[in-house]
Structure formats: C-alpha cells, structure tokens
Structure 1
Amino acid sequence: MNLNRIRAGLLLAALPLILLFLSGCSMNRLAVIGAEPILVGGQSAMYRETDLKLARDAMPAQLMLIQGLLQEDPHNPRLLLYAARGFYGYTFGFVEDHDRRRASKLYERCFHYGLAALREEGLDLDPQHAQQQQVQAAVARLGRSAVPGLFWTASCWAKWIDMNRDDPARVAELGRAAVLMRRVLKLDEGYFHGGADLFFGVYYGGRPPMLGGDYRKARRYFERAERISGGKLFLVDVLYAEYLARQTQNRALFEKKLRSVLSRPADEVPDLALFNRIAQAKARRLLAHEKDYF
C-alpha cells in the first residue's frame, strides 16, 4: 500500500481530534453537547405528561441537570432558554399558588437565565435598571432569533414582579417587561401559542383603569390568543377568568370559562397535556375560592 495514502488516511482520521484540540473544546463541553438531545427529549416527554404529581416530582431533577450543564457551558443560549422556560413552568405550575416567597426567588432565577440568553443575542443593557426609552431602543435592535429570549425573560420578569406586587418599586418595572413582550408581538405573534397576546390580556385585565388597566384591550388580547392557539391552550380561558372576568365582576363568565376548561380532556393536544393539566388544577382552585371573589 502506498505510504503517502496511509499517511493521508491517518491524517483524515485524526482531523476531528485535531480540530477539537485547536478549538479548546473540553470533555465537559462535549458532555454538554451530548446531553442536549436528551434534554430536548425529556422536555418533550414532560409536556405530554398528564400526571401532575409525577411531573412535579420529576422537574427539579431536570432543572438541576440543566444548571449543572450551564456550569460547564455558561454562555450556551439553548441551555439558558431551557433553564428560563423550565423554572417558569415549574414555578407557575407547582409553587406560586402555595408559596409566593419561594416563587419569587425562583422567578428571579428564571429572569436572570432569560436575560443571559438575551445577552447572547446582543442585548447590551440591563433592562431592569435602564430607562424605559433605553430598553425600547435596545430591544428594537434584536431580531427574530431573540424571540424566545424576549418572551421568557418578560414572562419571568412579570411573574417575579407579581410575587412582589406590594412593592411599588417592583411594580414600576412592569412597563419595561412589557417593552420586551411588545417586541415579541412585532417579530412573531404566534410564538408559544400566542403567549404574547395572553401576556397583554393579563397585563391590561388584571388592573383597574386608574392603575393602567384597560378591559377592552384585555378582551381583544385574550381573543387573539384564543384564535392563535386554536382554543387548545386551556390557560387562555383560565387567565381570562382569573384576571378579566374577576376584575370586571362577571361571575357568569368566570364560571363559564373555568367549567369549560374542566369539561375537556387535557391531552386532546398531546404536546399541551401538561400545560392543560396545570390549567385545570388552577381552574379548580379558582372555583373553590369563587365566593371570595364575588
């Protein structure tokens, strides 16, 4: 066999290792790369889970895994988004209704993961401490690839504020969170089943007019979220009942929305099964406290 051909073959076989060495990629980074498909599969399976106790008990281990991987690859935008989305889902579904103080801390963590993902997209300021006009100018420079980061950062931020609604300084941040979500509306209104419209339904429906609420706007946003989701995301009706129907003291609509949610199978869209089971649990809690609201 020709010696030059042997050398060429050995060089070709070693090329991936040479490139790996030159790139400075560690074995831990390789482990992160290898773990990402497992995370994606695990999240897909989690979204299809209908047993809330099983999901509640499993999610912390998944979140710890993501945080461990981030220690090895702290600027990985996909891992940062997994963390933001995961902490939001766990806190919204299993913590905030029972322990607001703990929920506040978890939403804070969620916000910082989302913000770190946005920095990887080029956000060059801290929106929490900048002026609103500065935030508007900064997010206007972000493109469509930043939509997930914008969405989850704004969602986590708004919930963190909501857990501290007695603090006027924190409530004053809400307008800046809304700036991020308005950019989502402009770039990709359909992201996460119309989640940006749902955000603004709560944003305008959950406050009296003297504090910036606008029930007509809230109704329009809820209706748009309903159209975009095709009526398959039960949280639209639950949040409509919790924020707009309750705020306007429309008890009949409150009951209608929540009982409709409870009458449907959570897994009619398998990929929304967990979200819909969480929505049903919240619907039951709201109905159990109905006399306190009306």
Structure 2
Amino acid sequence: MTHREAPRARPRPGLLALSVTLAVVCGCKGRTAAWEERPPREGSRPPASGPGSRGVRAQPGVVDLSLWSTRGQGSEQTQAVIAAWEVGLGCTPGATAPAERCPELATTSENAEALAMLTRAHYFLADAYLRDNAADYLDHLDRGVWWGERALMAVSPEFATEMTAGAKFHEAIVLVGAEGLPAMYWYASALGKWARARGYGVLVRQRDNIQATMTHIMALDPSYYHGGPDRYFGAYYAVAPEFTDGDLDKSRQHYEASLEIAPHFIGTKVLMAENLAVKLGDEALFDRLLQEVLDADLGTAPPELQPEFNVEKIKAQELLKKKEREKWF
C-alpha cells in the first residue's frame, strides 16, 4: 500500500484568516461543546416529557446494546433504540434535546461505549432515514455530536481535564487512546455532516476539530471502520474549495487507499461518485462506481453492515436520478 500522510491538524494561515473573518461576520461556530458548558444547577432535572420508546423496553440503569441490530427496521425503531439507551443512562424520556433531559449524565468509563453508540445511532438515523427532512437531519446530527463530546470525555479523563481547562482541541485529542476510536470516529463523522449541512462558514469553524480527530485516528489505526480515515480525507479534499485545501488528486489517493483497505465497503464508492467524480466531471467514473454499488451482493456483506449497505444502495439510486434531473455532466 502506498504510504499516505494525513494532513496536519494545525490550521493553515489563509484558512485561519478566513475562519476569523467568517466568525466575525456571522458568529458561525454553530454550537457550544460539552467542555465549554457550565455545570447544571442542582435541581435542574426536568420532568418526564412524553412517552418512552416504541416497542422497546426502556429501563433505568440498563443499556442493551444488542438492540443496535434492529436499526434496519426503520426510523421509528432506531428512535426507539435511542430512547431506550437514553433512559438507561439516566435521562428522562421525551423528544426534547438531550441537554434538557440528561443534566446528571455520568461521563465515566463505564458509560463510554454506550455514549459512543448513541453518537453512532443518531448519525445512522440522520443518514439513513432523515436525508429529506433538513430540520430533523440537522437536529439528530447535532444530538450525535452532543453524545460524541461526552463519549470522548468518558473514554479519556485526561482529554476531559485538558479541554475543561481550556486546552486546544488538536493538542488534547492526542491524549485519547485506541480505546477511544469509536467515540472519536463517530464524533468526527457526525460533526462533519452537521457542519457541512449548516453551511460553509460553520464547516470552516469546525474543520480543525474534525481534521485533528481523523488525523489521530489514522495514526492509531488507518483501517478503523473499513478505511474510515482515508474515506473522510477523500471526501474532504473533494469538497473543500481549491483556495483552501481542495485537491482532487489527494482526494482520489485517499479514496483508493480506503477501498484498498476495505474493497467491500460500498459507502466509499457512493461518496467517491458524489464528491470526486462530479467535481472531476467524470460521468463514466460516476456511473461505474454507482453501478458497482447497485450490483453488490448484500448476501456476501458482513452481517453487521447490511443495514448501512441497504442505505447506500438507496443513495446510489437517488444520485443516478439526481444526475439526470440536474444534468450534472
């Protein structure tokens, strides 16, 4: 495999200047991170607001991670799983944001896996079922980031201490060890999709945290989640404007590296078609990648990935229709 160097996590001067300008103009960081929040006041726990999960038993103190296998049954089932896990972690049931219902959440190592799974669950819910509902899509990605921040603090007390003391994120994230790979990957993935959906100004302000996290993941395990770090950088270099970091050659190199690690992972081909092939104006590449996705035999796919692969096949069909409708080539 050809050696690839992940981008440095430190911001480039030109991009930093652009970030500052955009922040002054629009105040577009977009959210307050867990380590920037004030601790909740005593007695701030809200009352229960609405029903619990649908058809899934929710029990305080019990987080049944085996429920994850039911996510392919649809949006309502995935939301039911999320609701059950939240109750298991001590949140009051309801539909409002977790910040309002989970004021006494314990960010301890015992909860780290469940917190990371909630991050992934909100990401999956948005990506799989809410792509056509902009408000709900953003809301659940934001919730994913909320849980991801707490997963990072739970899995690494050293990271939590540094961040609450005001450390720079790119300096603190390297304190998270390999046991924090799920928390880091799903935090960065949710933050990246959320920021991109919010607009370029927000994406610029959040870019350094995402880059620093994925760079650290690549240093720890470049194969994590089926070549996930290279997949991210492939998308990043394709989407970024040329005047910042956009580089289609680097994008192709990272996508190909991700596929070399995990040729079975069809989500990489969907992203490569959507971002790189369109940017290159390469209709043949676009069609070939998406046809390979549609032709993929889910019976040979790892069972734990079949819900995600079903979604990727739907995305491929949507992209082919969108190509014709919007005349991309």
Asked if TM exceeds 0.5, the reply is yes
Given that 1:204 and 1:217 are in contact with CA atoms closer than 8 Å, whether structure 2 keeps it comes out as yes
From the superposition, tell whether residues 227 and 45 of structure 1 become closer, same or farther in structure 2 (CA, over 3 Å): farther
| Structure 1 outlier segments of 4+, above 4 Å | none
Q: How many residues were matched structurally?
A: 248
Q: Give yes or no for the alignment of 1:285 onto 2:321.
A: no
Residue 200 of structure 1 is matched in structure 2 by: 233
Q: Please tell me the root mean square deviation across aligned C-alpha atoms, in Å.
A: 2.0
**Could you tell me how far apart the structure 2 residues matched to 1:227 and 1:45 are?**
30
Residue 198 of structure 2 is matched in structure 1 by: 164
Unaligned runs of 5+ in 1: 1-30
**Could you tell me how far apart the structure 1 residues matched to 2:223 and 2:195 are?**
25
1:68 to 87, 106, 111: 87
Q: Which amino acid aligns with 2:67?
A: G
**Could you tell me how far apart the structure 1 residues matched to 2:203 and 2:268 are?**
26
In our comparison, the structure showing a higher alpha carbon Rg is 1
Q: Which amino acid aligns with 1:240?
A: M
Q: Give yes or no for the alignment of 1:274 onto 2:307.
A: yes
Aligned residues: percent identity?
A: 24
**Could you tell me how far apart the structure 2 residues matched to 1:217 and 1:267 are?**
33
Residue 102 of structure 1 is matched in structure 2 by: 136
Cα shift at 1:284: 0.4
**Could you tell me how far apart the structure 2 residues matched to 1:171 and 1:164 are?**
11
Q: SS at 2:264's partner residue?
A: coil
**Could you tell me how far apart the structure 2 residues matched to 1:103 and 1:144 are?**
29
Q: Which amino acid aligns with 1:187?
A: L
Given that 1:108 and 1:156 are in contact with CA atoms closer than 8 Å, whether structure 2 keeps it comes out as yes
Given that 1:164 and 1:171 are in contact with CA atoms closer than 8 Å, whether structure 2 keeps it comes out as no
1:184 to 211, 217, 225: 217
Given that 2:60 and 2:87 are in contact with CA atoms closer than 8 Å, whether structure 1 keeps it comes out as no
Deviation digits for residues 231-252 of structure 1, max 9, x if unmatched? Answer: 2111010000001001111111
Q: SS at 1:74's partner residue?
A: coil
Q: Give yes or no for the alignment of 1:91 onto 2:123.
A: no
Q: Which amino acid aligns with 1:60?
A: Q
Deviation digits for residues 68-100 of structure 1, max 9, x if unmatched? Answer: 1122663311211111010001111111x2022
Given that 1:201 and 1:218 are in contact with CA atoms closer than 8 Å, whether structure 2 keeps it comes out as yes
TM-score, with length taken from structure 1: 0.78
Q: SS at 1:209's partner residue?
A: coil
Q: Give yes or no for the alignment of 1:238 onto 2:259.
A: no
**Could you tell me how far apart the structure 2 residues matched to 1:90 and 1:251 are?**
30
Given that 1:91 and 1:106 are in contact with CA atoms closer than 8 Å, whether structure 2 keeps it comes out as yes
**Could you tell me how far apart the structure 1 residues matched to 2:120 and 2:163 are?**
20
